[in-house]
Chain A
């Protein structure tokens, strides 16, 4: 016989709780450009982003009659909200400079740095990491 018997497997309905999910994001941005001379330019950019997302703690309420024979089940959820918490902080920092040797030849150099902090890693583990890029070159304008 391939049915689930009433005695062996029970069904009692649903229990629920109203729960808040809150995400917060702070984004700060600044960029500066400085031209000390006609042949020289400096630029800088900072981006900081702090993001959190979390589910509030909750308890599901149900009448005992709903639970019935499911006494070996555990309907408490103390730790559950933390499983999907998000807590990232991303700092991005860039600097650049240009120097014109002549009106047609310009030297450029810049760097870009990003650092991500993950305080609530979930299925991917701790996602904290950093990236650094440095670049230089010559520009010909004609």
Chain B
């Protein structure tokens, strides 16, 4: 393995993502506007409902998590959509790059953007709604962020699978997929209020465990004894599964000619 070569191949996708983001005013708008609206609207709602500070924190953690994941997964999800939209998918797949290069490259930019949004939203929550984002300490924050980014990666890779399988039609999936996840993992509510069958499903989502872990610091006891163990184990398992799935879909698209169709 030649490290500089590998790095440049990863950087290819990162640099492209950075240029597209820099050149697209709407991408910057999208990154700041929706999270800003989300934190303000939900924060004001909690104020109207006159909720205690820990409950406010419980809800705002959900808002910050959702937006961090959404922004962090976008670069990964869009990395192939850019090629599909511009009909240039062939360039990437005729070159000696591996899926790992694409995932790491686009994922790096997503991670940086996600971190930026997490910090901005955390500061807004702290300044406007008195939420103490720093209460879990540096270790707690780092662990929680790692969990959010792992979830973003799983969503991003799942969207890549859909893009390679269905092309343009998967565009909607980039958003819909994550919202379905948020509905189930107890973003604004404890999963215990979900119907029993759905609750069972929720415990198979790593984000449920990471939220459970982080909310402990705000006075809400975790539902399981080892939320981090479950969260990371599930995340790594799903990450591995989605990576294998992506490889299989790529192989199938080389066999079925989807790769060519998406370049026409």
Specify whether A and B are partners: no
Q: Which A residues fall within an 8 A CB radius of B?
A: none
